Structure 1
């Protein structure tokens, strides 16, 4: 059962990170540097490309001792992504 939760959180995190990446990109680089905005599908694609170059989370999961620790890493990733969205929203309000 815990393996299923790990995979479920991994998939949810991918789509959640895509949404947050899209919002943060459209709030900051697009507005401040006058670069094109990115849609949701484009954000997911960019995250996929970035994941090929940076697999830090996979390394941590391989170092984890048990499935509960891996699940904790996935939940933590969801929380951190939410914090990034919240902080970005607050900063964007002052621009």
Structure 2
């Protein structure tokens, strides 16, 4: 397991613990990168028993200073929103 993946799993575990039983979750990320760290988080939230929370993801980044393999923040936001829609999870992103 890579250190990045371990870090994502640890962060997602902390987020899940902190937002347990919440109706709304707002995550502010200062380095969204490719957004892949949120795939498993969204999948886990979608499988949660009971009412699923509304998730708001805000990315704070300088799109001109970072090269992204998958495109700009807008594309990353669209991919995460599509995943959330497929999972029937309410997500709004500010990327």
**TM-score w.r.t. structure 2 length?**
0.29
Q: Which has the higher strand share?
A: 2
**Bigger share in helix:** 1
TM-score norm. by structure 1 comes to 0.29
Structure ID, larger Rg = 1
RCO higher in 1 or 2 (8 Å CA, sep ≥ 6)?
A: 1
